Amino acid sequence: MLRGLYTAASGMITQQRRHDTVTQNIANINTPGYKQVDSIERAFPDMLLSLSNGDEGMTNRQIGRINTGVLAEESVSMNVQGDVHPTDSADDFAIVSEINLADPATGQNIPFDASGKYVAPNGTVTYRPQAFFTVTGKDGNTGYTRDGNFHLNGAGNLLTTTGNPVLGTTGNPITLQGSMEDYNVDSRGIITAKATGGEVGRIGITVVNQPGLMTRTGDGLFTVNNPATAGVRQLQAGDNVEIRQGYLEGSTVDAAASMVELNAALRAYESNQKVIQFYDKSLDKAVNEVGRV
């Protein structure tokens, strides 16, 4: 009986975390460059039940497997391209990233699904590489973001919405004079002065071959613990990546799907709650009524 009580309790905790994840997505539905987060659940290891000395001539007989609960294993960001919207502001930038990879077996482009991954017939999983703006985080380490809502401060530093310096291709913060209205930025991130037409800098774009290995740190930033394993590299000439000035990338949150997920988590939470109430009544009767017999 207690096993079922613990199973229902683990289900309530899992659904609460699932609910929190969806709530976070809905709260950031209008955040530029935000990537939807999905909660991944898995079951506790199954236990194999057997009946000792159940049949003549057999030591034990297998009955079957029983599950002992569920847990929210991790939250995974959906690193896919979001819709790009014009803002008519020279301070805004969007990345349009559609990097293709060739299948070694066929030589054809890998057909990635809507979540940005491809599962080969042999079970090998390949993720679509994604491009990011390169910035300096609050801790001084390199961070990556798709939120291109930048601005120039009084000192001429190009900063993100939360004040993180935007880095150039040299790894140094970008510093400009005047306002972004005085500059043009082409599709490869080259910044040119309108007055002279000369190049004054380049926006640093970093490509991550394994975006699923990135860690979300808040404020729309991601970090990479092991750049070599994640395949962190600079933007290459053959990459199908375009920077658009005067545009912002919207979030990848699906509002309708999020509301369905929110209600499903609530209903599952209530179901587990009723199971616990049932076990509570059963234990109460066993202790206070059956125990008196």
The pLDDT of residue 247 is 95
Its sign, for the CA torsion 237, 240, 241, 245, is positive
Q: Which residues of the chain are modeled with pLDDT < 50?
A: none
Q: How far is CA 91 from CA 173, 186, 245, 254, in A?
A: 16, 13, 7, 27
The pLDDT of residue 59 is 61
The pLDDT of residue 259 is 93
The pLDDT of residue 113 is 83
Classify residue 83 as exposed, middle or buried by CB count within 10 Å of its CB (0-12, 13-18, 19+): exposed
Name residue 192's beta-bridge partners: 184, 199
Those residues whose C-beta lies under 8 Å from the C-beta of residue 113, and which sit 6 or more positions away, are none
Q: How far is CA 101 from CA 106, 122, 147, in A?
A: 11, 18, 25
The pLDDT of residue 287 is 78
SS3 track for 243-280: EEECEEECCCCCHHHHHHHHHHHHHHHHHHHHHHHHHH
